[in-house]
Amino acid sequence: MLNLDKKIQSLPIEAQREVHDFIEFIVKRYKRKKNDHPLNEKEYWLKLNEKSLEKIWNNEEDDVYNELLKR
């Protein structure tokens, strides 16, 4: 790892910040994956969207329309 440290230190300060930000991003991503629900990524996003759209789908106006469809 020392070799990696030397390489990072040889970069301009702005590039060092980018490396630091990227490492933080990777660390957060792996922590998030570790704590994520056991759904795969596609299922996760579908469930998330479903929850956010619930207010739109479940409303009184649609309930009236659904009653008309039952007839």
**Once rounded to an integer, what is the mean pLDDT over residues 42-58?**
77
Per-residue pLDDT, averaged over 17-40, amounts to 81
Question: Which residues are CB-contacts of 53 (< 8 A; sequence separation ≥ 6)?
Answer: none
0.85 exceeded by pTM: no
Are the C-beta atoms of residues 29 and 36 closer than 8 Å to each other? no
> Where are the domains positioned within the chain?
1-35, 38-71
- Strongest mean pLDDT among 4-13, 23-32, 50-59: 4-13
Q: For the segment 53-65, what is each residue's pLDDT rounded down to a tens digit?
A: 777 777 777 677 6
Q: Which amino acid is at 64?
A: V
| Mean pLDDT, residues 2-24 taken together | 91
More confident: 34 or 6 = 6
